[in-house]
Structure 1
Amino acid sequence: MRLIGNYAESIPWRYPGASNLTSRRRHSKGDTRVLLLAASVLVAFIANAAGLLAGVTIVLPHLFYLPIILAAYWYPRRGTIFSLALSLGYLALTLPFTGSDVGTTVSVISRAVVFAAVGAAVSLLSLRLREQEERYRGIFDNSEAGTFIVAPGESGPRIEETNYVGAALLGFTTKNLAGKHVAGIFEDPAAWEALKEDVDRNGTVYEYETTLLRIDGAAVQVLVSAGRLPGERVVLTLVDITARKNAEDALRQTNAKLNMLGHLTRNDLAAAVSALLERIGGGMQEFDDPDVRRYLKNLEEDARMVQRRAEITRDYQDLGLRPAGWQPVQKVVRDVTSCLLLPGISVRSWVERLEVFADPMLDRVFSNLIENAARHGETASKVVITYRILDDGLSISIEDDGVGIAEPEKERIFDYGVGIEGGLGLFLVREILAITNMTIRETGTPGRGARFEIHVPPGGYRIV
């Protein structure tokens, strides 16, 4: 007995005594085969004996092919021995009638050899076919994915066969689900039609996300893969992603709440800092003492640092809130540069046809890196963006011709709180990229320019 969700019921072909019933059926089937095989052997020997007495020796021996093929197909491990025994029986029956005719004797012996060879060949082929069938059956029955075979029917495509996981996924048994209209298990029957059209057009479909209905009416979200089979059949494999989707929804709602909390906190902080700056400004006008004014000036710088950090974090309030997706890098760079003021700086991008799987805030990555070149490169006059494919992924380079970054600072510039204006820009650049397992490092030569290299893992990029 297997438990699925809140269901704890026995599957009919697993209830106590089911194995005995299956065993009885197998024995009954085996007894029928033995009777048919014995009858075909008896008919073949009787017919050949009668033919030999009547002088017929050419056509009737072909009757032995029937029991040979049946035995080799039904019992492939014993088929060769059976055909050899049958050949010897044929020789024992026929040789006494050949007399001294050498030609007839050779013909009879040759025919017996052919009988044995046919039995051996059919046994070998049947054994391989049986092994493949058992392999398929093992995969079908024991797969962790629900599997359905859909066959055409008079009133539409029907579920011809399913495995235990597929039936349990919908709250059915394998026996009760067989024969049902396949569109009936979809929450939206049009989803089946759309899936079938994709299969007819492309031959296969992978990771088609849809919703099925259990027998109790509950919705099950699944990923479906499908492919064509002979006889206009379709095989469907289903993976239950309901728990994953629920977790994603819960995480999305939690992120939204945290985002709202951050938004409210930032507004309160900004209001408090603004009020503090007003009071410091009032103090600067009220007091003439140099020590007091110096103290107030230091307070003002600290307050403005807090203000700048609050403004920077506002730009990143949606970090990780929206799902990652494929983004065309050339378009992202073009959109970023069209919104930036870059006096005396030209941006050349050579990343056509490149797409990366990244957080929707990928534009902030390029915005920060290009702005850094313009603001801190001092002598920078151009920014060049290129890419190259590596053995372990892909590298995107953002390079300028400015003063570069000193060796001791190459890694520290990505730390929180280091650098100009609190260092949040490059810190968050690394965090945005890390969402989809991308990394960034600075590899430029001091005095000749900065070069930031973004490493994209395999599967995280594509050339379209």
Structure 2
Amino acid sequence: MYLPIVLAAYWFPRRGTAFSLVLSLGYLAMALPFAEGDAGLIVAALSRAVVFVAIGAIISFLSLRLREQEQRYRGVFDNSEAGTFIVAPENTGPRIEEANYMGAALLGSAAGDLIGEPITRFIDEPGAWGDFGERIRSDNAVYGYETVLRRLDGAAVQVLVSGGRLPDGRIILTLVDITARKNAEDALRQANAKLNTMGRLTRNDLMAAVSALLKRIAEGIREFGDPAVRRYLDSLEEDARLVQRRAEITRDYQDLGLRSPGWQPLQKVIREATSCLLLPGVSVRPWVERLEVFADPMLDRVFSNLIENSARHGKTVSQVVITYQLRDGALSLYVEDDGVGVPEAEKEKIFEYGVGEGGGLGLFFVREILSITNMTIRETGRPGEGARFVIDVPPDGYRIV
């Protein structure tokens, strides 16, 4: 009686409970006439019938859950926007056991035609599968692995691969085509490089023109002795030198945004930035060990500008302290000094273009560098007690290592 109940409940889970109930009633119809009023036999028959129904109900329930999970998996596998593969490790090499439509289209084939094909046939970079498999063996999962596939028609496809080991040793892979994104990044990088070259040439021409102008002004100062003319020439010289200083400052920032942002150890960045500065009588104390931030490669210019700004304009500055604090999932960096501080009316103006002694652009570019990776900066110190610059880092822009 158990075998037909189990089979029926497994193969027809929606009718398994009803089938087991019918069999239980049939069993009772056959068993009770032979009980002849014996209470023990009647109780045993009823108990057995209840067990039959319970077994049918449990197996039906488990079978339904299993099929729902299989349908859910199949739906995700077949309808995923990412190319998905099941790879079986074999003695002759890893072979594709199953592929969805997007995966087959990614390789320029039909899903059925890929079954049994070695996955290494489609990997363009030598050693990529060995490296990927080693990571799978050590961590059981790999995310965001970049490599190049070679389609059946010979075209190269750049993909982002993630994978995980299944309990039976097989590997499930998901591949996302990032060729368009990589091409766009390359085009943007080339455009930035061309703009950078044009800016460099324009700046060089401007510097040459300003130098020639300063030379002519110097000649005029030597030639004319009239005080009014001398004052006029002095004002022209001052304006020309202002243009010259701004052109020199922009040279330091010609590579802004040209290279991709990355994770940078803050303690090392600050120490390298301060090693290039002349800070007589000023000590710099960074307390940011193990902290890394995701920022533009020119992050060192941020701290060199802030520290130099404190030393130059703080007047009574003897130390600059750099610390951080975690708050509400984000992080705040503090660059504090013990100088004269910043007047309330100037706290926002100091970040504007061309504000400051000599038309400096330091703090303006500090804000621009930080904004590339969604960081912000503000000044919150008290006038007379020192400057306090606060750099707010987004939740995904820092990590403690």
Per the alignment, residue 363 of structure 2 pairs with 426
Tell me the distance in 2 between the aligned counterparts of 1:329 and 1:67.
70
Is 1:78 the equivalent of 2:7? no
How many correspondences in the alignment?
401
| Structure 1 SS opposite 2:395 | coil
Q: Is the 8 A contact 2:192 2:258 kept in 1?
A: yes
Give TM-score, length-normalised by structure 1: 0.84
SS of alignment partner, residue 221 of structure 1 = strand
Q: Which residue of 1 aligns with 2:114?
A: 177
SS of alignment partner, residue 341 of structure 1:
coil
Q: Where does residue 333 of structure 1 map in the other structure? A: 270
Tell me which of 381, 403, 406 is aligned to 2:343. 406
Aligned to 2:93: 156
- Which position in structure 2 is the counterpart of 1:144? 81
Shift of 1:94: 3.6
CA contact (8 A) 1:413 1:423 kept: no
Q: Of 206, 214, 232, which residue of structure 2 is paired with 1:295?
A: 232
- Distance (whole Å) between structure 1 residues aligned to residue 91 and residue 389 of structure 2: 64
Q: Give the AA of the match of 1:380.
A: V
C-alpha contact (below 8 Å) 1:359/1:433 kept by paired residues: yes
What is the CA distance between 1:417 and its match in structure 2?
Answer: 1.6
| Partner residue, 2:385 | 448
Give the Å deviation of 1:113.
2.0
Percent identity for Structure 1 against Structure 2: 72
Q: Is the 8 A contact 2:246 2:360 kept in 1?
A: no
Report the residue type matching 1:157 in the other structure. Answer: P
Measured after TM superposition, the shift of residue 336 of structure 1 is: 1.2
Q: Which residue of 1 aligns with 2:26?
A: 89
Matches within 5 A, 1:22-421: 64-421=1-358
Q: Helix, strand or coil: the match of 1:351?
A: coil
- The structural deviation recorded for 1:100 is 4.6
Q: Report the alpha carbon displacement of residue 191 of structure 1 after superposing the two structures with TM.
A: 0.6
User: Which one-letter code corresponds to 1:220 in the other structure?
Assistant: V
Pair member with larger Rg? 1
Amino acid at match of 2:386: G
CA distance in structure 2 between the aligned counterparts of 1:236 and 1:148, rounded to whole angstroms:
5
What runs of 5+ residues in structure 1 fail to find an aligned partner?
1-63
2:269–2:300 contact (8 Å) kept in structure 1: yes
How far has the Cα of 1:392 moved from its partner? 4.1
Give how far 1:238 is off. Answer: 1.2
Measure the CA separation in 1 of the matches of 2:37 and 2:395: 79
SS of alignment partner, residue 109 of structure 2: coil
TM-score normalised according to structure 2 size: 0.97
How far did 1:101 drift?
4.5
Deviation string 1:56-83 (CA, Å, 9 cap, x unpaired) is: xxxxxxxx22221111111111110011
Q: Distance in 1 between matches of 2:306 and 2:42?
A: 95
- 1:222–1:241: 8 Å Cα contact kept in structure 2? yes
In the TM superposition, residue 444 of structure 1 has moved relative to its aligned partner by 0.7
- SS of the residue corresponding to residue 459 of structure 1 reads helix
Cα offset, 1:193, TM superposition: 1.1
Residue of structure 2 equivalent to 1:5: none
